[in-house]
Chains A and B, each alone.
Chain A
Amino acid sequence: MTTRAWLDATDPGRYLQVTPKGKFGVDWLPCGNVTASAQKNVSLTRRTWLSAATALVPPALGHGASPRVLRFGLTPVFLDERLRLLQQWRLYLEARLGSSVEFVQRGTYAQVMDTLRNGQAHFAWICGYPYVLRQRELQLVAVPQWRGQPLYQSYLIADSLSRVSVWSDLRGRTFAYSDPLSNSGFLYMQHLLRANRQDPARFFGRSFFTHSHRHVVEAVAEGLADAGSVDGYVWETLAELHPELTGRTRVLQKSADFGFPPVVAAAGVDADEARAFAKALFDMPQYSSGRAVLAELRLDRFVPGDAGLFRGIAEMARGQAPAA
């Protein structure tokens, strides 16, 4: 029933969802995580509705006869299956950019990277590992800030029922990786083993990819794998949202800090467009709808980043055989 979202003139951070009601009346419903107390039903005349709609169209990216659709690729560097969160984020971005926004989700990191390469996506939130691998093809747009820093860690987790205490106890066991292009879910563990003079291909008895940090946690919690390598930010977020799941796992080891998975633009994206997109992300704390999305993401904000943040990942990547 939702037809369009408009910014609320009284609060630039709030947008309202328009649903048809009767012949001329409309219901103005607050969307996303706007507090319940802010909910109101106001019946307006058709003229009021049209004038309000016209006044509220933002200028940014609003020029042109047919505004383009911005496609934003997502990888499981966060809990990307939370559809309500995605809906909130999409509405926020559309309101700020004045364009339609579509999220592009694929089964693996490599497939999302392909969408950037072949123009199916303009922007993407990817892992630091593929960023350093294809740095020349990409524009760094923004980096999330989590717990005060644009940094995160890789967690080595194990089944809470197992007696494994250090990484070396995992020899011959079953191990769950996230994705071959994941820093925290693959590269770090490979680096750790190589740094300790172990052959990653032979150290574990059996290993497999789940292509999602959340699935790594599930695989370890279910006992399918004895241990797994997972994004620390995802594990901590899961611990808040689903403590019964993370409670069945145990963190064996935490890595050093790495640059947080960045938001990048494809090489062909116009610089103004990239800046507008970055600004929309940077401005999220200024709007209640943006703050709601950040709260759901458990992030502080998006900040400008630089390639130096990912130096550690780049060093580890140099020791890794080319994966993509």
Chain B
Amino acid sequence: MATASPQVLAPFGYRLKVPIALMAVALVSGILVAATTYMLVDRHVEENAEAETRRLAGTLARALAQPVLRNDVWQAFQTMRAAAQPPGTSAAQRVDVVALDARGQVFATPSPRVHPLGQHLSALPEPLAGAARLVLESSTPAPARVEVPGSGVLVLASPIVGEEDTVLGVVLASHPRALTDAQRSAVIRQLLALGAMAMLVVALAGAAIGLRMTEPLGRLRAVMLASARRAGSEEQAARAELVEVCARRDEVGELGRSFAAMLDQIAAQQELERHMLEAERMASIGQLTAGIAHEVNNPLGGMLAAIENRRLRGGVDDATAHALALLERGLRQVHDTVQALLNEARSERHALTASDLHDLELLLRPEAEHMRCRLDWDARVPGLELPAVPVRQVLLNLTLNAIAAAGHRGRVKVWTTEEAGAWQAWVGNSGPKLDAARLAALTQGSERAGDGRLGLGLWITARILHTLGGHLRLAPPDDVLGTLLVAEFTTPAP
């Protein structure tokens, strides 16, 4: 049952599987209980019947002493009929009782047509005759018990004892050992009727409990589907629903909380990516602007020098002097503007400093603490002159990804090395291992991570590195750090 159920119920969802499984368990339990009850009843009836028959034989033996002594057949008959065949008993339930006198002849019986009065014990069925002989031929009055193997019939014989232990006769009582057919069918009928009712009630209760148990799962499923669709109002309603699910203290609540955390992480990642794209765009604009300003600045210097040279040479009439002044003012204005642009661009392109790395660490620590992730930070300023913004972006992105990958109570380690004109930033995490093929796919932007650990961020990181002339590679993992990424920066081209 336990192995078959999952396969049989495989096409159904948990919302059906659980109630159906509970119903099935209730039904099987009911059948087992009914079968056990039947066996117990059978055994109980057997024990009871023997005890009752023994008691009946003993009681009749005592009651018949006087009728046998007085040869009062009618009194004996009435006593035996009342005791062995009380009103309301069916033929199948009646115990076969015969009283024999000391000569071994039938003295009285409630069934005189079966055992006529005066019939000798030799004409009785063997079990009855055998039991009678055991008592009548015994030296001391003692009851006897004869069981007929295979027939299920038990005969109990009790001596009718007079004064001074004189055996006046014997009472024979025989009964079927177990349930009669009529009793058996009655018991089975009642068990079936009552069992069916009980099982129906239990099965319905099981189904109801099952539906109630799976209801939170259904709500979580609805919330997850609604979140995936991201329809405005529906998502808000789903969020409210998710808050309710998260409030539960059971596994469904845990699932809900994990899902909510995942949604938050995805949102944060998306926000980060948006910021990085914007920063990159701004950096590109800055680079372009600086390039233009640089290109414009050189001719401007030449033109201003040419105007100055013309003035020093003299012989400038008023109109020319006026034109030169006009040109100079114009060029100065252009120069100031360009100079301002150059200054601005130069401010975004400053070299990486220790304070930049320190700022970065300050930025990342709270995120690591939020995840309860251990962050070991040992990034040092490179000897090379590297642009601060892209380096910071690369380090920020890689470290955030590592924190997400390391997960709750994980470990992230960041350190730098420098050799042969190259500066390497090592970012390792204790999360699941990342293989080279997957890294390649992620950095090429051809695959998005379903769990949000690695996504567009790696692609952007790879592009920034590429722009800077560096690259991202996967280093061999060690015992602690399952994934170790190395961002290698080289000296930018002049």
A interface list, Cβ under 8 A from B: 174, 176, 205-206, 208-211, 215, 219, 222-225
Q: How far is the CB of B102 from chain A (nearest CB, A)?
A: 15
Is A176's CB under 8 angstroms from B117's CB?
Answer: no
Interface centre among A205, A211, A224, A225 (most CB of B within 10 A): A224
B284 within 8 A of A: no
Q: Do A208 and B71 contact each other (CB < 8 Å), given the known contacts A222-B112, A223-B113, A224-B77? A: yes
Q: Which of chain A's residues have a CB closer than 8 A to the CB of B73? A: 206, 208, 224
The one of B74, B112, B116, B117 in contact with A215, judged by C-beta atoms closer than 8 angstroms, is B74
Q: Do A208 and B74 contact each other (CB < 8 Å), given the known contacts A222-B112, A223-B112? A: yes
Show 30 residue pairs from A and B whose CB-CB distance is below 8 angstroms, ordered by the A residue.
Answer: A174-B116, A174-B117, A174-B118, A176-B74, A205-B118, A206-B73, A206-B117, A206-B118, A208-B71, A208-B72, A208-B73, A208-B74, A209-B72, A209-B74, A210-B74, A211-B74, A215-B74, A219-B77, A222-B77, A222-B112, A222-B113, A223-B112, A223-B116, A224-B73, A224-B74, A224-B77, A224-B108, A224-B112, A224-B117, A225-B117
Q: Which of chain A's residues have a CB closer than 8 A to the CB of B118? A: 174, 205-206
Q: Which residue of B lies closest to A219 (CB)?
A: B74
Given A224-B108, A225-B117, list of 10 further CB < 8 A pairs?
A: A176-B74, A205-B118, A206-B118, A215-B74, A219-B74, A222-B77, A222-B113, A224-B74, A224-B112, A224-B117
- Quick one: CB contact mask for B103-125 with A, threshold 8 Å, 1 for yes? 00000100011001110000000
Q: How large is the interface on B (under 10, 10 to 19, 20 to 34, 35 or more residues)?
A: 10 to 19
Q: Which of chain B's residues have a CB closer than 8 A to the CB of A215? A: 74
B interface list, Cβ under 8 A from A: 71-74, 77, 108, 112-113, 116-118
- Going nearest first, the 5 A-B pairs with the smallest beta carbon separation are A208-B73, A223-B113, A210-B74, A224-B112, A223-B112
Interface centre among B73, B108, B113 (most CB of A within 10 A): B73
Q: How far is the CB of B23 from chain A (nearest CB, A)?
A: 54
Q: How far is the CB of B98 from chain A (nearest CB, A)?
A: 13
Interface of B is mostly: loop
Q: How far is the CB of A188 from chain B (nearest CB, A)?
A: 19
Q: Which residue of B lies closest to A222 (CB)?
A: B112
In the bound complex, CA of A108 to CA of B77 (Å): 17
In the bound complex, CA of A205 to CA of B77 (Å): 18
Q: Which of chain A's residues have a CB closer than 8 A to the CB of B112? A: 222-224
Q: How far is the CB of B284 from chain A (nearest CB, A)?
A: 115
In the bound complex, CA of A222 to CA of B72 (Å): 17
Q: Which of chain B's residues have a CB closer than 8 A to the CB of A205? A: 118
Q: Which of chain B's residues have a CB closer than 8 A to the CB of A210? A: 74
Q: Which residue of B lies closest to A159 (CB)?
A: B113
In the bound complex, CA of A174 to CA of B71 (Å): 13
Q: Which of chain A's residues have a CB closer than 8 A to the CB of B116? A: 174, 223
Q: Which residue of A lies closest to B73 (CB)?
A: A208
Q: Which residue of A lies closest to B105 (CB)?
A: A206
Q: Which residue of A lies closest to B81 (CB)?
A: A222
Q: Which of chain B's residues have a CB closer than 8 A to the CB of A223? A: 112-113, 116
Q: How far is the CB of B74 from chain A (nearest CB, A)?
A: 4
Q: Which of chain B's residues have a CB closer than 8 A to the CB of A225? A: 117
Q: How far is the CB of A46 from chain B (nearest CB, A)?
A: 46
In the bound complex, CA of A209 to CA of B74 (Å): 7
Q: Which of chain A's residues have a CB closer than 8 A to the CB of B117? A: 174, 206, 224-225
In the bound complex, CA of A225 to CA of B108 (Å): 11
Q: Which of chain A's residues have a CB closer than 8 A to the CB of B108? A: 224
Q: Which of chain A's residues have a CB closer than 8 A to the CB of B77? A: 219, 222, 224
In the bound complex, CA of A225 to CA of B72 (Å): 13
Interface centre among A174, A208, A215, A225 (most CB of B within 10 A): A208
Q: How far is the CB of A162 from chain B (nearest CB, A)?
A: 10
Q: Which residue of B lies closest to A177 (CB)?
A: B74
In the bound complex, CA of A176 to CA of B74 (Å): 9
In the bound complex, CA of A224 to CA of B77 (Å): 8
In the bound complex, CA of A219 to CA of B71 (Å): 15
In the bound complex, CA of A219 to CA of B108 (Å): 11
Interface centre among B71, B108, B117 (most CB of A within 10 A): B117
Q: Which residue of B lies closest to A211 (CB)?
A: B74
In the bound complex, CA of A209 to CA of B77 (Å): 12
Q: Which of chain B's residues have a CB closer than 8 A to the CB of A174? A: 116-118
Q: Which of chain B's residues have a CB closer than 8 A to the CB of A222? A: 77, 112-113
In the bound complex, CA of A206 to CA of B118 (Å): 8
Interface centre among B71, B108, B112, B113 (most CB of A within 10 A): B112
Q: How far is the CB of A43 from chain B (nearest CB, A)?
A: 41
Q: Which residue of B lies closest to A205 (CB)?
A: B118
Q: How far is the CB of A215 from chain B (nearest CB, A)?
A: 6
Interface centre among A176, A205, A215, A222 (most CB of B within 10 A): A222
